[in-house]
Amino acid sequence: MRVGLIVDSACDLPYDFSRDKDIFILPVTAKIDGQTYVDDHSPETTARFYDSGLLQKGHHAETEAYSAQQIHDLFLERIVTEYDVAICETVTRSRSLVYQNATEAMNSVMSHYQPVREAAGRDGKFSMRVIDSKQLFSGQGLLAAHTLRLIEDGLGKNELRQQVEAFTDRIYTCAIPRDLHYLRERARRRGDKSISAVVAFLGKALNVTPVLMSRNSEPAPVAKTLNFNSAAEKVINYADSRVKAGLLTPYVVLSCGFSWEEIEALPGLDRLRETCAEHKVELLISQMGITSSIYLGPGSLCLSLAAEDHNFSDHQ
């Protein structure tokens, strides 16, 4: 039985990891200043996006999920003909139409896949499941890495689905937005009121950089710092301590919306690498994809791990 994993382009993982693990990326369309870009996690496209400075102030950027028909066509062409079982993990349904459109596409595919599969010379039935990751960005990446581990363990399709769905509630994600006004304006255009005007104002007026944290819920401030580096150090210290305390899956996922030179200069990153290596935890670092960068804004940071119940302050 060949099992395939599908994620959308809001999922942040290193390109080489996704390629080597044969993860299928469901694209998301990005619209910036009237031009349309397809975010398929191509490193060349991502590099051009960063080099162009398209996300800087003054650029109007939005993302748009592939339609149900577009996803249906991709599933029939690329998934039905390659796999016996497919798991599609989408960005949280509260932030995007990807889950809704993928579910609609799946239902249609399940009624029409047999002729396509037979023409490709594939025997046997095909099954598929669309799962709401309840996550964004690095959190979605962590779920994908854990899912691959379960697939490699040879779980049956029903147990695999159950374990994946249960695991979504164990993921903790920290985010550091550089520009709260950017985040608030994008949220306002989508009708998302989770980022309040007060928080945005305080961040600008008092030069406060917050650390936001979520676990299957709306993000909430868990720390306030005077600059981005201080916030990044707090998040990395948190991850370092949490790795030492024990994780539920041996991965930490870190995605950053800036250059690799700036990523490597993050305070405490080398120490986190050493701690992860000592505890046999894989630290998966990537530049944020186009979708993630548009959502959180330029220069943001996102880190995810899975652990037993705890508070951010427990590890400071």
Q: What integer pLDDT is reported at residue 285 of this predicted model?
A: 98
Q: What integer pLDDT is reported at residue 282 of this predicted model?
A: 98
User: Is the per-residue pLDDT at 228 higher than 70?
Assistant: yes
Tell me which amino acid residue 162 is. Q
With cut-offs at 50, 70 and 90, classify the pLDDT of residue 40.
confident
Query: Average pLDDT of 37-53?
Result: 80
Residues 172-223 pLDDT 10s: 999 999 877 777 777 666 666 666 655 665 666 667 888 999 997 678 889 9
Residue 86, CA distances (Å) to 7, 76, 94, 157 in order: 11, 12, 23, 9
Please name the residues in contact with 208: beta carbons below 8 A apart, sequence gap of 6 or more: 202, 224, 225, 226
Q: What integer pLDDT is reported at residue 50 of this predicted model?
A: 77
Residue 120, CA distances (Å) to 83, 106, 220, 223 in order: 11, 19, 49, 54
In 3D, which of 203, 221, 201, 200 has the Cα closest to residue 212? 221
Count other C-beta atoms under 10 Å from residue 209's C-beta. Answer: 22
| In the chain, % of residues over pLDDT 90 | 67
Q: Which domains, from first to last, does the chain contain?
A: 3-169 (3.40.50.10170), 170-315 (3.30.1180.10)
CB 9 within 8 A of CB 39: yes
Name the pTM for this structure.
0.93
Burial class (CB in 10 A: 0-12, 13-18, 19+), 138: buried
